[in-house]
Amino acid sequence: MLACSMNLQAPAKINLHLSILGKRPDGFHEIESLMVPLTLADSLTLELGEPGIAFRCSDPTLPCDDSNLVVRAAKAFFEKANLAPNVRLHLEKAIPHGAGLGGGSSDAATTLLGLNQLYNRPLAPGLLHELAAQTGSDVPFFLARSAALCRGRGEIVEPVPFPHALPLLLIKPGFGVPTPWAYSRWSGSRELPGVSYAPQAFPWGTLVNDMERPVFEKYLLLPILKRWLGEQPETVGALMSGSGSTCFAVLRDGADGAALEARARAAFGEVWTCLCQTVVE
C-alpha cells in the first residue's frame, strides 16, 4: 500500500576542497572534491494527488516549470519506473540559489529518493544514481546523504567518514554566480595579487578551492569577504564553496558565531547569512 504523503529534508553542502584536474572531451571538467552535507536544508513535501505532476515552491523567483530540477527529476523518475504520475510536490526553500551550496541538486536528489519511497521503491539504487547523474553533476552526491569524495564531473561518489561537526558561518552576497560561466573561465583565469589561494590544512582536512581563481577575477567582493572572514578571531579558516557566491568560515570551538554574524552584516550590508554545521552521520 502506498503512503499518502511524506516530508523530507534536502540538505545544503559545502566543498571542503575542490580541485579542477582539466577539461574533459565531453565539455565538462574533471574534478575531485570533498563535499559534506549541512544542517541547513530545504524541505520537500510529497503527496499523492490528481494525475500529473503539480509543483509549488515558496520562493517566487524560482520557476515551477520543466526548467526546475525538481520537475525534471520527477519526470525522469516516472518515465524510468514506467508509472503514471499523480503527485503534488511542495518545496520550502531555505538554501539560496546561485550560492555554491547545491540547493537545486539536493532538491532533485530528494525528489528521486522521496518518489522512490512513496511508490514502494520500484527503482534500484543503481537506477536512481543513473537518473541523478543525468539530472545534474552534483545530484548523485545528495543521494548518498553523507560526506563523500566526488570525482569525474561529480557523478562518481565515494562516501567517506567525516565525524566532525564543524561549526560554520555562511555568507552570500546579493548576487549569484552561474556555475557554467565559472567553469568556462577556469582555464584562462589568473590569481589576483595579494589574494591567498593557498591550501589551509587542519586535523580534519584541507580547505582549498580551484574555482576561487576564475570567480574572484570578476566578483571582487568575494576575495574581500573571504579575507575578512579569515581574519576574525572566531574563525580558523575561510573558503568559497563550489563556484560561489557563498563564502564560509569554520568557527573555533566555543566561538560566538552570532557576534561574528552581526559584525559581518554590519560590514557587508545586505547579505544572506546562516549559522549551521556539517552533518555527522
The whole-angstrom separation of Cα 105 and Cα 107 is 5
Q: Which CATH number is 199's domain given?
A: 3.30.70.890
Across 49-166, where does the E strand assignment appear? 52-57, 86-92, 148-152, 156-159
The DSSP annotation for 164-209 comes to ---EEEEEE-S----HHHHHHTSTT--PPTT-----EEETTEEEEE
What is the domain extent for residue 177? 167-277
Q: Going residue by residue through the chain, which has 281 residues, state the pLDDT in tens, using 9 for 90 and above.
A: 456 889 999 999 999 999 998 788 877 888 999 999 999 999 999 999 899 999 999 999 898 888 899 999 999 999 999 999 999 999 999 999 989 999 999 999 999 999 999 999 999 999 999 999 999 889 999 999 999 999 998 889 999 999 999 999 999 999 999 989 999 999 889 999 999 999 999 999 999 999 999 999 999 999 999 999 999 999 999 999 999 999 999 999 999 999 999 999 999 999 999 999 999 87
- Mean pLDDT, the chain, as a whole number? 94
Q: What is the pTM of this model?
A: 0.94
The answer to whether residues 131 and 148 belong to one domain is yes
**Active-site residue (options: 93, 138, 172, 226):** 138
The answer to whether residues 187 and 233 belong to one domain is yes
Assess whether 13 carries a catalytic annotation.
yes
The answer to whether residues 197 and 66 belong to one domain is no
The answer to whether residues 171 and 155 belong to one domain is no
Q: How many domains does the structure of the chain reveal? A: 2
Give one word for 154, left, alpha or beta, with left for phi > 0 and alpha for psi -120 to 50: left
